[in-house]
Amino acid sequence: MKNVTRTVDDGVPEWARIEAARGGRSVSRMVGRMLSEAVYQESADALDDLRTSPCDARLAQERSP
């Protein structure tokens, strides 16, 4: 794992501490999970885009009897 240092707007650190405490985890773990979920979602969206591309639809038509 890598450490990441970022600058955030005033109020964000307090919000993050409160949200992390509500979830029973550290701010670092919460932010790491949020970033991982964002990357996963972006990857899933990209795959969905590929599956629904016009090229994919054309290939499906060509393969059907």
Q: Would you state the pLDDT for residue 3?
A: 85
Q: How many residues does the chain have?
A: 65
pLDDT per position as a tens digit, 8-61? 999 999 999 999 999 999 999 999 999 999 988 888 888 777 777 666 556 666
Q: 63: which 2 tokens?
A: 């393969």
The token duo for 1 is: 């794992």
Confidence (pTM): 0.62
